[in-house]
Structure 1
Amino acid sequence: MSSWLPINHGSAFTFGSTELTFLILFVMVILLVPGHAIFTRFISVLALSAVTYKLQEVFFRLCNNPHWRGFIAPMLCIQLMSASELVLISRVESAPISATSASSIVTRAARTVDLLWNLRRIGTRWQVKNVPIALPSTRAEFVRRRLITTAIAYLILDVIISGPPPPSAPFGPEKRALFQIGSLSQEDIVFRIIGTASYWFSAFLTILIVFNITAIAFVLTGLSSPKNCPPFFGSIKDAYTMRHFWGNLWHQCLRRGLSGHADLMADSILQIPRGTLLSRYTRIFGAFLISGLIHHVNDVAMGVRSADAGSIFFYPLQALGIMIEDGIQALTRRLHVSYSVRRLVGYVWVGVFLAWSTPTLFYPQLRVGTDPGLLLPIHVARPLINYVKAVWQV
């Protein structure tokens, strides 16, 4: 258990106090600094960045589990991005936070922190697009459904990580080729396809488990309600284009921060006129580039050398995929092809593009050789598998 989540009381206290410093500074800026005070707000974002750097430093001393280092370290960057979006781009002030003029400072501070961590901005004027609809339910019904879903996801993930490790040959540095596909053997291609599917399914399950546990805790304690905890992921039926894969199926937690900063870069810094193709694709590439930088922290936290990390390449490639499919759709729009055939071709396209690009992301992580069993604190599948093997040997 100690290898799964080591406890360092000194580092834990330092981490908690540093996070509290971040939250206090953020709340003070939102509630006290007017939105038009751009320079002051910019300086405050620099200060929040310095605190985030310290948070990551302390967290790396606190946690030795590479899987959870890789999961939580980028979350600190996402917290910073959320704060920066609220402070500099949306320029949220005290008035929208206060339900009434009589709201106490504690109430306003709590609402401000809630907005910071409400990454999809559910129930606010800033809510992101394509959030799945929450089914009407009581707290008891919500908790029961999410507990069942979480238990099933946990068991499936446990089965996946309890399997035999993959052979080392198929994911060597030369195997994540993007353009020398002809140099790959049939075994390499099969591993690439299966590995890509397994990677995304495991990522989906891991994120789903963490989100559901958090949502259950917030609903049980009354800090949130079922209507404010809609499903985290969309429908796989929507994943017939790369744009829909990232914009509808996958979680939208980063959408507000990524699009806000990409818009700032294209509109205010580069001053590219809105409505042009250059503006559209600059903002798309900018959003995926920022996402790549955030996920680069995930790679390094998991033990991948910075020079080998693939996130900084993988995520901008997704913008390229969207650009390619936009062009193909524009060229084939007048062809008389049925909607069902277009969707079928779209599903194949998304699968092929992900199988082509994803190895740049997860092959370097596989080469680190981290024990996948460290991902979960309790294992049910592995003892069961060992028992079945023992029975068969008898």
Structure 2
Amino acid sequence: MNLQTSFSPVIPIAYLATASLAFYLLLNLPQRIRNVCFPILIVPAWRAFATFEYFTWPDSLDGIWGLAVMIWVAHIISLLYVDQIPSQSKSRKQWDMKAAYKLLFDVRHLSDGPETSLPAVSTSKSTLIAFVAYRLLKLIAYWLLTVHLFTPLIPLVFGPVEPWEFDQYAQTYLRRLPFFEAIEPVTLRETCIRVVFTFRWIWLSFVDIDAAHTFLSIMFVGLLQLDSPAEWPPMFGSPSKAFTIRRYWGRFWHRLVHKPYLSLAKIVAGRLCVPSLGHSAEKVFLAFLIFLISGLAHAMVSLQRGKLVEAVDDVAFYCVNFFVMATEGCVLGSAGPMRGLLPQWCWKIIGYVWVFTFWFWVAPKWSYSEVHGEMLKEIERQNRALGLGLFTGLLGGE
């Protein structure tokens, strides 16, 4: 690794720092000047996103950075141009750098309202040590499980796998069940691979985000000591609460995007006069827009990587999740009188099976193409290395 490559991640970080300084400036200016000076924020923010390919290790960091910047931009736009937060208030003086910093990355709005206000107390040294030690142990556990178990899990269980086992045809499942008399019906091996892949996909998706959050909490609480432990609560809820698709997204999965995307969704809904249709219609439409914006944000990352097909799949994935969640809500609403027929723990087990079945169906449709492409690239690299070795051998007279 040369020196230029070693320092290349500084480039997107520097762009984000520039955008952060622009936020500090705009926060302390009148609203009319903010509107005119919007480019001084969005240009470096866009460059912070567009240069995410400079993050080469770990492999998933570039995508996480790109999505994080998109969410952050939505958060800043919400503060400055939707909520139009004033340049000073009772709790914040103008040009107060510390108060501006607290707004800068509070994407979840943890300090909003009395029920979520964060106590302004000093943190003892022992508390900081315990905070950092626990999170370091968590990072080590994540690394060990990911590298030595979940990443090689499928080859460990099933032996060598071929690219065709993850191609476009393998993404389909239901229509290839035996009673549909498909030309190539699903096999037991294919079904087992999908089961293991689904668990692996959920784990890797969770760890990518939570490990990044854990690392940043160590940096800002333990090393820089800019924040208190209370300002870095867990990103995810308990998996035990995810016995419906709605609860999977609302109770287990992180809520990082909810408030910034909701602010943007309300603007769109207002322009389309959706609130006039009633509270229920507006609520459903806002939920749809949040999922759509999430899909578009993921699609922007895929497009930046030059992967148009994956960008379309990203939007489709989140739209499918919304429509399945809406259908689930209608079914559960109409099945209310039946809930007394079985104890609650039985319904929860049925719910867990349903949630896993949904991911078993949808996760390969979203991720198999990427796995297939990576396997083909690896085979191409091996073939090139083999060809180069043979060519070198011939030149050497062997």
TM over 0.5, shorter chain: yes
Query: Does residue 238 of the first structure (1) align with residue 241 of the second (2)?
Result: yes
CA, structure 1 residues 141+308, in 2 after alignment: closer, same or farther (shift >3 Å)?
closer
Aligned position for 2:186: 185
1:226-280 Cα deviation digits (max 9, x unpaired)? 1111112100111011111111101111111122222222234443336444322
Query: Once the 2 structures are TM-superposed, how far is the Cα of residue 56 of structure 1 from its aligned partner?
Result: 3.0
Query: Where do 5+ consecutive residues of structure 1 fail to align?
Result: 129-135, 374-394
Counterpart of 1:172 in structure 2: which amino acid?
D
Moved more, 285-294 or 337-346: 337-346
For 2:354, the equivalent position in structure 1 comes to 349
- 1:249 counterpart residue number: 252
Is it true that 1:287 corresponds to 2:287 in the alignment? no
TM-aligned CA deviation for residue 296 of structure 1: 1.7
Q: Separation in 1 of the partners of 2:73 and 2:377?
A: 29
8 Å CA contact 1:211, 1:232 repeated in 2: yes
Counterparts of 1:71 and 1:215 in 2: how far apart (Å)? 16
Distance in 2, Cα, partners of 1:358 & 1:46: 38
Name the larger-Rg structure. 2
Percent identity, aligned pairs only, is: 20
Aligned position for 2:105: 117
Q: The residue matched to 1:231 in structure 2 has which SS?
A: coil
Distance in 1, Cα, partners of 2:232 & 2:26: 27
Which structure has more helix as a fraction of its residues? 2
> 1:7 is matched with which residue?
5
What is the root-mean-square deviation of aligned Cα atoms in Å?
3.2
Deviations 1:152-199 (A, max 9, x none): 111101112245474312221233237635355133333222212211
Measure, in 2, the Cα distance between the counterparts of 1:42 and 1:352. 48
1:84 aligned partner: 77
Aligned counterpart for 1:151 among listed residues 140, 144, 150: 140
Deviation at 1:6, TM superposition (A): 7.0
Distance 2:294 2:34 in 1: 23
Q: What secondary structure is seen at the aligned counterpart in 2 of 1:369?
A: helix
- Report if the CA contact (8 A) 1:285-1:316 is conserved: yes
Is 1:30 aligned with 2:20? no
Shift of 1:320: 0.9
SS in 2 for 1:95: coil
Q: Please give the residue correspondences for 1:44-193 in structure 2 after superposition, counting only pairs within 5 Å.
A: 44-45=37-38, 48-60=41-53, 62-64=54-56, 67-96=60-89, 99=91, 101=93, 105=95, 108-125=96-113, 138-159=127-148, 160-163=150-153, 164=155, 166-177=161-172, 180-182=175-177, 183=182, 185-186=186-187, 187-193=189-195
State the partner residue of 1:389: none
Q: Aligned residue pairs: how many?
A: 353
| SS of structure 1 residue aligned to 2:276 | coil
In structure 2, do the counterparts of structure 1 residues 167 and 371 end up closer, same or farther at CA, with 3 Å as the change threshold? closer
**Superposition map of 1:350-389 within 5 A:** 350-369=355-374
**Does the CA contact (< 8 Å) of 2:151 and 2:200 recur in 1?**
no
What is the one-letter code of the residue matched to 1:271?
Answer: V
Structure-2 residue corresponding to 1:226? 229
Distance 1:371 1:265, change over 3 A: same
Aligned partner of 1:330 among 324, 328, 333 = 333
Q: Is the CA contact (8 Å cut-off) linking 1:161 and 1:372 kept in structure 2? A: no
Shift of 1:26: 1.7
CA contact (8 A) 2:164 2:372 kept: no
> What stretches of structure 2 of length at least 5 have no aligned partner?
117-123, 379-398
1:196 aligns with 2:201: no
More displaced stretch, 334-343 vs 12-21 = 12-21
3-state SS of the aligned residue for 2:108?
A: coil
SS in 2 for 1:94: coil
Distance in 1, Cα, partners of 2:136 & 2:356: 31
Matches of 1:126 and 1:254 in 2, distance apart? 21
Matched residue, 1:391: none
Query: How far did 1:149 drift?
Result: 1.8
Preserved contact between residue 166 and residue 371 of structure 2 (Cα < 8 Å): yes
Q: Secondary structure at the match of 2:5?
A: coil
Q: Is the 8 A contact 2:163 2:376 kept in 1?
A: no
Paired amino acid for 1:362:
S
Is the CA contact (8 Å cut-off) linking 1:48 and 1:80 kept in structure 2?
no
Between stretches 63-72 and 142-151, larger displacement belongs to 63-72
Match of residue 281 from structure 2: 278
Gap change, CA 1:262 and 1:223, over 3 Å in 2: same
Match for residue 390 of structure 1? none
